[in-house]
Amino acid sequence: MTGGSAPPPAPTPPGRAGTDRLIALFLFGVVAFNPPLLRVFGAGDTLFGLPLLYVYALGVWGAVIALSAVLLERRGR
């Protein structure tokens, strides 16, 4: 071959990108709720009078639920 250009990659199957994103979101949740990371936020600090661990855990939990809803809605179309 001349020019050294590679052929374009094969297109991904229709449901593959959504599945990959859901797997990545699951792995994010696993890392976010890993005990060593939770200990960082459980140091006793507060944010607006609430323990930082509670704010972090509920924030990440809500974000994972919201992102999974967005990904699953997009996948259904």
DSSP conformational letter for 43? S
Q: Domain range holding 47?
A: 32-76
Q: Is the Cβ–Cβ distance between 64 and 29 less than 8 Å? A: yes
With respect to residue 38, please indicate whether it lies within any of the assigned structural domains. yes
Longest Cα–Cα distance in the chain:
67
With respect to residue 39, please indicate whether it lies within any of the assigned structural domains. yes
For the chain, what is the mean pLDDT? 85
Q: CA 63 to CA 46: how far, in whole Å?
A: 20
Query: Which residues are bridge partners to 51 per DSSP?
Result: 46
Q: What is the pLDDT of residues 30-63, one digit of tens each?
A: 999 999 999 998 888 888 899 999 999 999 999 9
Statement: the pTM of the whole predicted model exceeds 0.85: no
Domain count, the chain: 1
With respect to residue 25, please indicate whether it lies within any of the assigned structural domains. no
Q: Per-residue pLDDT for 14 more than 70?
A: no
At 13, the amino acid letter reads P
